[in-house]
Structure 1
Amino acid sequence: MAIYHRLVTSTARLSFGFGFEQKIGSLPGAVWLRQIQIDATRGRLIMPLAMPQNCALLNKKINTLNSFNQQQQVNYSSITSFYNKVTAQQLWKGVTSVSNAGRKRGRGKGVGKKSAKDLNKGQIIGIGKLNMSWPGLTTPIIQGKEIMERKQLPPDPDREAKLIKLRDNMGQFRPLRLSPLERGWSGTKMHGRSIGPPDPIGEDTFEGFDTKVLEMKTVTNMDANLGRRRRFSVLAFTGNNDGCCGFALAKSPEGRGALRKAKNRAGQKLLWVERYNNHTVLHDFFSRFGNTKIFVYKKPEGFGLVCHRAIKTMCELIGIKDIYAKIEGSTCVQHIVKGFILGLIQQKSHQQLAEEKKLYLVEQREDNYNFPVVIAAPSECRTEKEIQYEECLDFSQIGFGDRIPLRRKLYTPFYVNLPSWENHLMKTEWRRNHHEIKHQLLSEYGTLKSKFSEKYPESDASYAWRLWRKQIREQEAAEEAEES
């Protein structure tokens, strides 16, 4: 007959069961033994208290407990806390990650900014708030001939502050600082950022080329077996800044793979774009792709790129420096790229336009005081009688393909009706014929100079510029002489 004294949960699962007896005390005329048994099925230590049969000190309590033990066996188990049920990795995942449903609703944009912290970092086993010395754990057991004993060391007031500082610095990540020219269009997105030239193909190396990302997004496709497949779609544009360019669209399950495929594919689809004086388009043109309409205007040097950011990035890679482009309708990046490239490919050279019209092509630029300059001449020119009355002779209108762009009306400034405007006209009256005189000088001498420029070279408008260029050449010659 046995009384179950206590029940202890074992830390190891045993595949067999056994028991042994242990002497725990003695009474007059009897020996008390404790029989320890190990339950192999549950991995628990069962320690019943066995009483000898010749013991005379049996009372009612022992009999009651023995009878109760025969009827029902009571098992006790330790309570498992919440922190033992969930691992640290699972807890951090709940803070630093977003579910698939949340990611679809736009809650997964800042996932990479949060990182899990190792709270055990900076802590050493055996060293805590009390700052105890444990021989064999934190200190050696024997120092010299003396056996060390456990003792308490002076408190360390800076321990908590050091741990907090270490944990605060653990989650901070400072990205590499990029120059403003390498940051792209907005924030940390890949749009507008450079990814280098395409990979070489055999002996052909893309020297002087650069590739920029125009569009990078995630697309999904429903598959019968795999379900919703998520991939990256990248539109890349490459060019050598000298008229040679290409673009391609690529998709891949990984972002880096999509970038690499788009870059290399763009290098395999190159085309040549004609430019006027290596700085602008040949003429104004209209292009359309889908619901995207693009009006492109030819501009003089120094005007810059006043257009959509995708068109600006393409022009920088092509080598176009001065244009104005207006987009109407959809601003889809892929449609903008295809529409602009179609317009560049469909450009006609000045000689082709002159041969089609059988007329001289004359250019008037504002930076040249609208002085007419012949830039193309046909092999056979029509006479004035052969030109029809309703025939369009506007160079821009021919490039737009009979489409008239909407232009705002120029309103009269408010200061024209003020008395001060009359004073301004009177003060500048002596310059009223300067424009016509500039045209006359350009037609006679080809530049802004008078008949006295040979005797007085400072009367030439380009005298200061020629003098400056002469000084630069003299300095370069002096530097070369010193080096040699």
Structure 2
Amino acid sequence: MLALRLAVSVLGRIPQSLPASSVLRSALPSASSLLCAQGRHIEQPGIRHGSTSFFGHLTQEALWKSATSVSNAGRKRGRARGRKQIKNLNRGQQLGVGDVNMVWPGLNAPVLRGRDVVRQQELPPDPGRKEKLYKIRDNIEKFRMLRLNPLERGWTGTKMPGRSIGPPDRMGDETFEEFDCKVLEMKQVANMTGTIGRRRRFSVLAVTGNRNGLMGLSLSKAIDSKVAMRRAKDRSIKKLRYIERFENRTVYHDFQHRVNETMVFVERRPAGHGLQAHRAIRTICEVIGIKDIYCKVEGSTKAVQKIVKAFIEGLEKQEVHHDLAERKRLHVVEMGPETAFFPKVLASPKTAPVRTAAEVDPTEVTNFNDMYTSGSTRLVAPKKPPFYHKLPSWQRKLKELERERGWHSQRLYHWMLQDLKRTAPNTPEGFYHRVMAPDIGHLPHSYVKPNPPSPWGRGPKAK
């Protein structure tokens, strides 16, 4: 009786939050068990008395935390990088399926199969169940990189800048399937507050366009990166603007624009040149529809927001050819090697007559390339000479080629003279004599009269 009273007193002091299968409770006799006069425990048939451990006391999160946690001091030293990842042990398991292969109607099997009632029964064991379960758990640790199309990858690896995040979400009945949104910058920013301390958020800069002149730019912030990207995508469609393009492929003229210490030089290029620019500017040109351009950034190339602002402000300040012709009251003429320098009129004034040569000030800037550069040009570094230019063999080669210099231009000039003689009449009134004859002896590689015979017999023989 003394042992029974002691057991009851100890049981009353045990907190009720502990499970009934604890070590202490299993060691004490239950209320339905019998004690002999000496206090020894008498086993009763039908009652299981198994040993327990602390694994039954702790939750799964607490056990994983004890095995994978790193102290704050260790995190500062980078020890959290190589720690083991938490596995989801429930992956691959099904409710009602265990080591004993049983059929439980309503749990892992239907209650009725046709008109017959499914009975509870035991099936043969599955020998490959544990091997499959272990294989699934082993694959959790392996890092699996997201497979992307090479054309859909970003600027570097699998990071978001440069990648497309799809068209903006629909607004009512309006859809934007023809638009595409791309991320220009995604970084983590923080500001110090007096209540919650340092507040960290993700900042996303995105651009949207339909590849036909329409584009929108937006900057948004959020605690979650996905939420920040979605906000930037939806806000950019509300800030659309139209960008003028020459022949729907390039800019109208060369320009330069400065934002703080970042200078952007933009030059127009012929068809087929492509996009030769900073990666952020190249992404903007893709969504706008600009196909041929050259852009040089002077200053910091990592300040993406300043580069984007300078480029877009320069695009908006473009002057189309018709406005230039109206402002200058002159013809806008294009000449280039593509057309053999044949003049091509691009625009003419319509509201006022064209000024004459006497009305144009000699100091007025009329060169199209120098009109929008404010007198400054971009720095063009000279090409580095090849290594063999310092070798003696290259100097000998130059001496050998010196006798042939100008040979190609000389042949072209003589071929032109032969064509003119063949097509024009050889008369004093002919085209050849009126145009080319006065310049004989003055043009390069032209016909020169033979020298008189030398008295010593070394010159050409006299006829």
TM-score by length of 2: 0.64
Partner of 1:399: 372
Distance 2:414 2:231 in 1: 59
The code of the aligned residue for 2:213 comes to G
Alignment partner for residue 218 of structure 1, among 188, 191, 205?
A: 188
Question: Secondary structure of 2:227's partner?
Answer: helix
Match of 1:33 in 2: 38
Instruction: After TM superposition, give the deviation of residue 359 of structure 1 in Å.
Output: 2.3
Measured in 2, the distance between the counterparts of 1:410 and 1:21 equals 99
AA partner of residue 341 (structure 1): I
Q: 1:259 aligns with which of 208, 211, 229?
A: 229
1:203-228 deviation line (CA, Å, top 9, x unaligned): 33224111101111122222333322
Q: Structure 2 CA distance, aligned partners of 1:224 and 1:268?
A: 34
156, 161, 165: which one pairs with 1:191?
161
After TM superposition, list the pairs within 5 Å mapping 1:307-318 onto structure 2: 307-318=277-288
The superposition leaves residues 22-49 of structure 1 with CA deviations (integer Å, 9 ceiling, x where unpaired) of 565xxxxxxx53277xxxxxxxxxxxxx
1:363 aligns with 2:334: yes
Residue 350 of structure 1: how far off its partner (Å): 0.9
Q: Indicate if the aligned counterparts of 1:221 and 1:229 stay in contact, CA closer than 8 A.
A: yes
Corresponding residue of 1:148: none
Deviations 1:415-443 (A, max 9, x none): 79625645775774576359999xx9xxx
3-state SS of paired residue (1:418): helix
Partner of 2:452: none
Report the structure, 1 or 2, having the larger strand content.
Answer: 1
Give the whole-Å Cα distance in 2 for the aligned partners of 1:85 and 1:22. Answer: 28
Conserved 8 A contact 1:236-1:266: yes
In structure 2, distance between residues paired with 1:319 and 1:211: 13
Per the TM alignment, residue 288 of structure 1 is displaced from its structure 2 partner at its CA by 1.5
Q: For the Cα contact (< 8 Å) 2:3–2:39, is it kept in 1?
A: no
- 1:46-445 superposed matches below 5 A: 88-90=60-62, 92-93=64-65, 114=85, 116=87, 118=89, 165-172=135-142, 174-331=144-301, 332-378=303-349, 379-409=352-382, 418-419=398-399, 421-422=401-402, 428-429=408-409, 432=412
- Give 1:165 deviation, angstroms: 4.3
Distance 2:334 2:158 in 1: 44
Distance 1:286 1:263 in 2: 29
2:265 touches 2:297 (CA, 8 Å); kept in 1?
Answer: yes
Contact 2:276 2:294 in 1 (8 A): yes
Structure 1 unaligned regions, length at least 5: 25-31, 37-77, 128-155, 441-484
**Contact 2:277–2:295, Cα closer than 8 Å, also in 1:** yes
Listed one character per residue, the Cα deviations across residues 232-268 of structure 1 (whole Å, up to 9, x for unaligned) are 2111100010111111111122222211111111101
Pick closer, same or farther for the CA change 1:159–1:355 going to 2, 3 Å: closer
Deviation at 1:197, TM superposition (A): 1.4
Tell me by how many angstroms 1:337 deviates. 1.3
**Which amino acid in structure 2 is aligned with residue 386 of structure 1?**
E
Instruction: Quote the Cα distance in structure 2 between the aligned partners of 1:384 and 1:100.
Output: 80
Rate the CA distance shift 1:226–1:356 in 2: closer, same or farther, 3 A: same
Whole-Å separation in 1 of the counterparts to 2:286 and 2:79: 35
CA drift at 1:173: 5.1
CA distance in structure 2 between the aligned counterparts of 1:262 and 1:177, rounded to whole angstroms: 25
Q: Which moved more, 1:301-310 or 1:95-104?
A: 95-104
Distance 1:418 1:201, change over 3 A: same
State the identity %.
Answer: 45
How far apart, in 2, do the equivalents of 1:275 and 1:94 lie? Answer: 62
Contact 1:222/1:228 (CA < 8 Å) preserved in 2? Answer: yes
> Once the 2 structures are TM-superposed, how far is the Cα of residue 312 of structure 1 from its aligned partner?
0.3
Q: CA deviation at 1:162?
A: 6.8
CA deviations 1:103-130 (Å, max 9, x no partner) are 889888899x955253997899779xxx
Change in CA separation of 1:348 and 1:21 when aligned onto 2, cut-off 3 Å: closer
SS class of match (1:288) = strand
Does the Cα contact within 8 Å between 1:22 and 1:34 map onto a contact in 2? no
Structure 1 residue identity aligned to 2:185: E
CA distance in 1: counterparts of 2:194 and 2:407, whole angstroms? 82
Per-residue displacement from partner, 1:37-82 (whole Å, max 9, x unpaired)? Answer: xxxxxxxxxxxxxxxxxxxxxxxxxxxxxxxxxxxxxxxxx9987x
Code of the aligned partner of 2:61: Q
CA deviation after TM superposition for structure 1 residue 364, in Å: 2.0
**Secondary structure of the residue that 1:353 maps to in structure 2?**
helix
In structure 2, what is the Cα distance between the partners aligned to 1:96 and 1:20?
43
- Contact (CA 8 Å) 1:21, 1:34: kept in 2 or not? no
For the residues of structure 2 that align with 1:435 and 1:367, how far apart are their CA atoms?
A: 23
Alpha-carbon distance in structure 1 between the residues aligned to 2:166 and 2:202: 19
Q: Indicate if the aligned counterparts of 1:19 and 1:35 stay in contact, CA closer than 8 A.
A: no
Distance in 1 between residues matched to 2:90 and 2:66, nearest whole Å? 16
Q: Deviation digits for residues 134-189 of structure 1, max 9, x if unmatched?
A: xxxxxxxxxxxxxxxxxxxxxx9x99987764443233353442211111111111
1:280 is paired with a residue whose SS is coil
SS of the residue 1:34 aligns to? coil
User: Counterparts of 1:108 and 1:114 in 2: how far apart (Å)?
Assistant: 10
The count of corresponding residues between Structure 1 and Structure 2 is 361
Indicate the RMSD between aligned Cα atoms, in angstroms: 4.6
Query: Which amino acid letter does the alignment assign opposite residue 326 of structure 1?
Result: K
TM-superposed deviation, 1:300: 0.3
